[in-house]
Amino acid sequence: MINLDEIGMMPIEIQKEIARKEKERRKRKGFTQEELALRADVSLSSLRRFEQTGEISFASLVRIGSILDDEKAFLGLFGQQEYLTMKELLNAKRGKG
C-alpha cells in the first residue's frame, strides 16, 4: 500500500496534479476547454471545475482521458500486485500464486 505521507502528497494534491497534467495535455493537443468538453461529452462547467480544483466524476475523467489518448493509464490503476515476501513473488512468477 502506498503511504501518502511517504510520497508527500495528500489526495487533493494528487487530484490537482492530475488536473494540471490534463490541462497541459489538452493545450498540447490544441483543444480549447469547449472542444474537449464537447468531444468527451462532459459539461464545460465540469471541465472548468476539474482544471481549477481537481474535482470531477470518475466517468467524466475516463472520457476526457480517452479523448486525450490516455485511456490505458486508467487500466493500470490498482493493477500492480504487491508481494509481502520474495516467496510470494517467485510463486506468482511461476504461476502458483
Closest C-alpha to 51, from 39, 37, 71: 37
Question: What pLDDT does residue 1 have?
Answer: 47
- pTM score of the predicted model: 0.73
Asked, for residue 83, whether it belongs to a domain, the answer is no
What domain range includes position 64?
Answer: 4-73
Asked, for residue 63, whether it belongs to a domain, the answer is yes
CATH at 16: 1.10.260.40
Structure-block grid coordinates of residue 14: 494528487
DSSP helix/strand/coil, 96: coil
Helix (H) or strand (E) holding 87: helix 86-93
DSSP state of 70: -
DSSP state of 2: -
How many domains does the chain fold into?
1
Q: What is the pLDDT of residues 1-45, one digit of tens each?
A: 455 455 577 889 999 999 999 999 999 999 999 999 999 999 999
Mean pLDDT of 79-95: 67
88 Cβ contact list (under 8 Å, min separation 6): 97
Asked, for residue 97, whether it belongs to a domain, the answer is no
